Amino acid sequence: MKQLELKFENADGKTVTYSVEMPIEPVDPAAVSAAMDEILAQNAFTTSGGDLVAKKSARVVERIVEDIEIA
């Protein structure tokens, strides 16, 4: 399953990550950046380390899980 990870910096200088499952692909970098700007402008999320203050990065992560049958 793929996830879009949005990484922000909070007021304490810590990195905060929000994940969106099954992003629309191909991912549009301009749209992601605009969405992150809007999250910051609306002060949409708060953390234990204070408000989000800056964008850090975004990435698509794919996790593959394979079960192993054990006896």
pTM for the model stands at 0.87
Q: What is the pLDDT of residue 5?
A: 98
- The dihedrals phi and psi of 11, each to the nearest 5 degrees, come to -60, -25
Compute CA 42 distance to the chain's CA centroid, rounded to the nearest angstrom: 16
Residue range 17-68, pLDDT digits in tens:
999 999 999 999 999 999 999 999 999 998 999 999 999 999 999 999 899 9
Cα-based distances in Å from 14 to 23, 26, 38, 67, 69: 25, 29, 20, 34, 40
